Amino acid sequence: MPTRKLTSVGGPLDFMFAEKELDLNGHPFKFRELSVAESDSILDASRLPDGGINGRLNMRMTIVKSAVEPKLTVDDLAKIPNRIYLKMAEFVNDLNSSDDTLNEPEEGEEGEPEGNE
């Protein structure tokens, strides 16, 4: 799994951030794992006046923030078929909640190739 190193933090907090590609009917998309601060910011931005969370907005903002290539906007997501949106949402959720990052390969070491969905 391709990864990107967080360069602004050193020492024991110098973790690799995961990046994965998703192929949707011949259209490649690259997404990246979010930081805790990015996730918190999205959660705060999707908060309703009563304190609840707008789940749809939260998911759309998460997909947009995770998108590396091509870059996406919330308006872009509104225009795609729902089945494609749901596949992206599942993929980005898995990327940001996967526990396989606890066993990252050492720098320069290749892990097992993963198939696209």
Domain boundaries, the chain: 3-100
The enclosing H or E element of 3 equals strand 3-5
Residue 32 phi/psi, 5° resolution? Answer: -125, 155
Stretch 11-24: mean pLDDT: 81
pLDDT tens digit sequence for 52-94: 999 999 999 999 999 999 999 999 999 999 999 999 999 999 9
**How far from each other are the two terminal CA atoms of the chain, in whole angstroms?**
14
- Give dist(CA 29, CA 9) in Å, integer: 27
- Give dist(CA 101, CA 18) in Å, integer: 8
pTM for the predicted model, two decimal places? 0.73
Q: Hey, which CATH number is domain 3-100, 3.40.366.10, 3.60.150.10, 2.70.98.10, 3.30.2220.30?
A: 3.30.2220.30
